[in-house]
């Protein structure tokens, strides 16, 4: 599975990129036919606090699963995105299984 990361208006350090890679790789245990993953990280400058936005685009055969999370840190945003992606992957897998039957 190929994981692409984009950081908009800042440069992400290696520790953050390694953390994202590790978390996203765990999704393969739920669905082994993931084509690719694109992670987009942005800074949200609105309001008093600077929030971080993480969008994860999970490419599976015939579809793209998307999550968008906002938190104070990129790590927290990625951590909260993984359970959402897991549920969506399991739903996608069930629908694909029903179509084949």
Encode pLDDT of 41-88 as tens digits.
999 877 666 789 999 999 999 899 999 999 999 999 999 999 999 999
Q: How many domains does the chain have?
A: 1
- Say which CATH number the domain at 82 has: 3.30.160.100
How far is residue 53's CA from residue 42's CA, in Å, rounded to a whole number?
A: 5
For range 21-47, the mean pLDDT: 91
What is the secondary structure of 32-57 as a DSSP string?
Answer: TT--EEEEEEEEE--SSS-EEEEEEE
Which structural domain range is residue 36 located in? 2-100
Q: What is the mean pLDDT of the chain?
A: 91
Place of tokens 């490419």: 59
């Amino acid at each position: 599975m190929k994981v692409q990361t984009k950081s908009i208006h800042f440069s992400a350090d290696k520790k953050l990129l390694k953390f994202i890679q590790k978390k996203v790789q765990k999704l393969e245990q739920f669905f082994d036919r993931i084509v690719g993953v694109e992670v987009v990280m942005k800074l949200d400058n609105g309001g008093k606090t600077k929030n971080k936005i993480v969008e994860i685009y999970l490419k599976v055969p015939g579809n793209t699963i998307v999550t968008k999370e906002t938190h104070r840190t990129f790590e927290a945003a990625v951590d909260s995105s993984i359970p959402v992606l897991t549920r969506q992957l399991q739903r996608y897998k069930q629908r694909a299984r029903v179509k084949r039957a």
